[in-house]
């Protein structure tokens, strides 16, 4: 099992989030169980209000949603909903992904690999 923790604002001018999602997708395709935990400003990735900037090649929210429907485990910091991101207090696209530090802790303990982006 691999747990990937994302911290960065999805569209921060870098490809950090895009590359993390590409890695998660490839690991899952290769049979790895993958957990994605969004924390800090990365929580915007789970909000429908987050839109792909003009001129950006990929819709990161749609990438995440597809991976989620295909079986990648997703949890998003519940406390960060009100504290972090550009869209504070906006709902996550699926409220069942709102999570806790305890879940992240459990995932870290259970995982063979933990990666942060």
Please state the pTM of the whole predicted model: 0.95
Specify the pLDDT at position 113. Answer: 98
Q: What does pLDDT average to in each consecutive run of 10 residues of the chain (117 residues)?
A: 97 96 98 98 97 95 98 97 94 96 98 98
Domains in the chain, CATH or no CATH each:
2-116 (3.40.1260.10)
Closest residue by Cα to residue 90 from 37, 45, 60, 36: 45
C-alpha 41/C-alpha 43 separation (Å) is: 5
Ramachandran assignment for 21, one of left (phi > 0), alpha (psi -120 to 50 degrees), beta (any other): alpha
Going from the C-alpha of 76 to that of each of 54, 71, 84, 99, 101, the distances in angstroms are 26, 16, 11, 5, 10
Specify the pLDDT at position 85. Answer: 94
């Amino acid at each position: 099992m691999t747990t990937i923790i994302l911290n960065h604002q999805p569209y921060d001018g870098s490809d950090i989030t895009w590359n993390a999602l590409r890695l998660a997708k490839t690991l899952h395709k290769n049979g790895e169980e993958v957990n994605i935990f969004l924390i800090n400003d990365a929580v915007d990735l789970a909000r429908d209000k987050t839109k792909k900037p003009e001129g950006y090649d990929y819709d990161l929210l749609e990438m995440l949603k597809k991976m989620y429907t295909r079986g990648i485990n997703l949890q998003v910091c519940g406390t960060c909903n009100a504290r972090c991101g550009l869209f504070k207090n906006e709902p996550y696209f699926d409220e069942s992904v709102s999570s806790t530090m305890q879940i992240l802790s459990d995932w870290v303990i259970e995982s063979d690999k933990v990666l942060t982006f």
